[in-house]
């Protein structure tokens, strides 16, 4: 199994936990202006967390905190 596939499975399992998607959506909404922007921002952040060459999630770190970090970086990158 490739590293990216393993990350994808781990992230999928985390996203299925109670309240995780709701919390991540709320955090992305804090940065975004519209519902569409919220969805795009969260999707970009999650793709970065799955990508082993970008901002991969380390299981020793808090998942929601790491994705929030990726949301902030993605938001900032879009603004510059």
pLDDT tens for residues 6-40? 899 999 999 999 999 999 999 999 999 899 999 99
Domain of 73? Answer: 3-79
| Residue 33: per-residue pLDDT | 84
What's the DSSP call for residue 10?
H
Q: How many CB atoms lie within 10 A of CB 9?
A: 12
CA angle 26, 28, 33 (to 5 degrees): 100
Mean pLDDT computed over 64-71? 97
Tally of CA atoms within 13 A in the half-sphere of 63 that contains its CB: 18
Q: Tally the domains of the chain.
A: 1
- CA dist 58 and 37 (Å) reads 26
Mean pLDDT computed over 41-55? 96
Mean pLDDT computed over 46-57? 95
What's the DSSP call for residue 55?
S
What predicted TM-score, i.e. pTM, was given to this entire model? Answer: 0.89
| Residue 4: per-residue pLDDT | 64
């Amino acid at each position: 199994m490739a590293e990216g596939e393993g990350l994808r499975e781990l992230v999928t399992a985390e996203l299925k936990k109670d309240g995780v998607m709701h919390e991540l959506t709320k955090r992305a909404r804090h940065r975004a202006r519209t519902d569409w922007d919220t969805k795009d921002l969260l999707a970009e952040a999650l793709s970065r967390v799955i990508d082993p060459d970008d901002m991969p999630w380390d299981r020793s770190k808090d998942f929601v905190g790491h994705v929030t970090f990726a949301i902030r970086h993605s938001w900032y990158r879009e603004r510059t």
